[in-house]
């Protein structure tokens, strides 16, 4: 049981490039979410999904897209990277809604030059 996995662990992009951050969980969790954490700050919700085929916006969705074609996977796409998107990105999952224990992945450290 691997829990929540994220790839890559580190990534450097140039302004304007696009990329996809991968997130997968093997716990059959319905709820998945993406957060960003800037240095010395709390986590801010980007997008979330309450089940396969259902996604919704969080607090800071601009510049990011998500899809949920399977229960296991929840990729986050950066459409055109900007320096303001330099951050650590965490994926999380829980059995039901966000009230349940959130299990976080190890994070992806993204730098946009």
81 binds another protein (CB under 8 A): no
Q: How far is the CB of 75 from another protein (least distance, A)?
A: 18
98 binds another protein (CB under 8 A): yes
26 binds another protein (CB under 8 A): no
Instruction: Please give the Cα distance from 18 to 70 (Å, whole number).
Output: 22
Instruction: Please give the Cα distance from 44 to 57 (Å, whole number).
Output: 12
Instruction: Please give the Cα distance from 61 to 93 (Å, whole number).
Output: 18
Number of residues that bind another protein (CB under 8 A): 26
Reading the block at residue 112, the tokens are: 């946009």
Strand partners, 11: 110
Q: Which is nearer to another protein, 72 or 103 (CB)?
A: 103
Q: How far is the CB of 58 from another protein (least distance, A)?
A: 6
Instruction: Please give the Cα distance from 99 to 113 (Å, whole number).
Output: 37
Which positions touch another protein (CB under 8 A)?
31, 33, 35, 40-45, 48, 50, 56, 58-59, 90, 92, 97-99, 101-107
């Amino acid at each position: 049981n691997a829990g929540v996995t994220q790839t890559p662990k580190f990534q450097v992009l140039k302004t304007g490039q696009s990329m996809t951050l991968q997130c997968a969980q093997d716990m059959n969790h319905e709820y998945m979410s993406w957060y960003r954490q800037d240095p010395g700050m709390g986590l801010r919700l980007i997008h979330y999904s309450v089940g396969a085929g259902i996604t919704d916006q969080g607090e800071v969705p601009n510049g990011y897209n998500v899809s949920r074609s399977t229960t296991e996977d929840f990729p986050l796409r950066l459409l055109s990277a900007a320096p303001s998107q330099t951050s650590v990105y965490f994926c999380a999952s829980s059995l039901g809604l966000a009230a349940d224990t959130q299990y976080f992945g190890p994070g992806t450290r993204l730098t946009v030059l």
